[in-house]
Amino acid sequence: MKNLFDVSGKTILVTGASRGIGKVFAEGFRDSGAIVYGTGSKQESIEWMNDSGIQGRVADITKPGSMTPIIDEIRSKHGRLDCLINNAGYATNKPASAFKEDEIYKIIDTNFAGVFRACQAYYKAQKKDGGNIINIASVLGLRGYSLSSVYCGTKGAVIQLTKALAAEWIGAGFKVNAICPGFIDTDMTIMLKEKPQILEQLNSSIPLKRMGKPEELLGTAIFLASDASSYIMGQSIVVDGGLIEIMR
């Protein structure tokens, strides 16, 4: 019987693969036999990929057109890009009243506009072949959270974008879904770890009593990239240690 979860030989592109969740995804898919490309915003951020079996490429997703040459290169070399994982993101921990204009648009351009542009570039390149998009959203796109106003807004927008693209592109053979992580122990949550009292309160509010590890998201990503999820469309899968259940 065919292994429905097999991703070996699939071509996978992970944005924001320089660290954290994206790095774990890139390494995890490589170890599962996939052909993996990973992006970072600067050359030095992808140097760890040298001789790793992962093809690193520089791409600032806030810049229009940045993903097109990478997608075209992958298609030229391998015939198709089986799965695009939009992982690149940016977060702050700031009162809503304190945001300046440039700070607002940095988060929007990274977390939403950059994701949209990547999806659009992928669709244009693959519209005759179909494809698979996994957007990395957040539980904070489903529930509001203090000091995360703009971030919550952009992740909520990614969830709605996922649903809209799933509906619009299904006829072209595209599968579009999202993963909504809870609080994950990465560089992006360091602002929480630097405040012991807040970290303690956060951990006590999570049913599993701890933040998640990036590796604990990998199984969901492999599932969505594989044939095992062939009938799943427009969904946002929550991976949060049970947090959202007590945020209702």
Residue 191 confidence class, pLDDT cut points 50, 70, 90: confident
User: What per-residue confidence (pLDDT) applies to 246?
Assistant: 66
User: What per-residue confidence (pLDDT) applies to 43?
Assistant: 96
User: What per-residue confidence (pLDDT) applies to 248?
Assistant: 60
Cβ partners under 8 Å of residue 132, min gap 6: 82, 83, 84, 174, 175, 176, 224, 225
* Short-list 32, 29, 30, 56, CA closest to 44: 56
- Residue-wise pLDDT for 19-41, tens only, equals 999 999 999 999 999 999 999 99
Spell out the domain ranges in the chain: 11-246
- Between these two residues, 248 and 222, which has the higher pLDDT value? 222
User: What per-residue confidence (pLDDT) applies to 196?
Assistant: 80
Cβ partners under 8 Å of residue 199, min gap 6: 192, 193
**Pairing state of beta strands 83-86 and 131-136?**
parallel
Q: Known catalytic residues?
A: 151
Residue 243: left if φ>0, alpha if ψ -120 to 50, beta else—which one? alpha
Tokens for 206, please give them: 């999570």
Pick the CATH number of 11-246 from 3.40.190.10, 3.40.50.620, 3.40.50.720, 3.60.70.12: 3.40.50.720
pTM (2 d.p.): 0.95
* CA 95 to chain centroid: 25
Q: Does residue 247 surpass a pLDDT of 70?
A: no
- Residue-wise pLDDT for 53-107, tens only, equals 999 999 999 999 999 999 999 999 999 999 999 999 999 889 999 999 999 999 9
User: What separation, in Å, do the N-terminal and C-terminal C-alpha atoms of the chain show?
Assistant: 41
Q: Does residue 193 surpass a pLDDT of 90?
A: no
Q: Does residue 201 surpass a pLDDT of 90?
A: no
* CA 9 to chain centroid: 21
